[in-house]
Amino acid sequence: MSALTIELPDALQKSIEDIASKEGYTAGQFLAAAAAEKLAAVMTINYLREEATQGRRSDFERYLQSVPDVAPVDDDRLP
């Protein structure tokens, strides 16, 4: 593990400490989990963007043409 010093507005720090305490975490654990979630989201977006650049519209259109044109079953309809 390594340490990282960050500056937070007082109100944000207090909110983090309060929520972390209520959830049974330390502020450090809470912030580490929040950072990991954000990192995962950014990495996922970057991955999907990269994958999108590899796609071809013609392949997508060909795939869509293979989907049967039938009405949905009764329990798969929007209300």
Predicted local distance difference test score (pLDDT) of residue 78: 85
Whether pTM > 0.75 for this model: the answer is no
16, 31 contact by CB (below 8 A): yes
For position 79, what pLDDT does the model report? 80
Domain positions in the chain are 33-66
pLDDT by residue for the chain (79 residues), tens only, comes to 899 999 999 999 999 999 999 999 999 999 999 999 999 999 999 999 999 999 899 999 999 999 999 988 989 988 8
Give the pLDDT of residue 13: 97
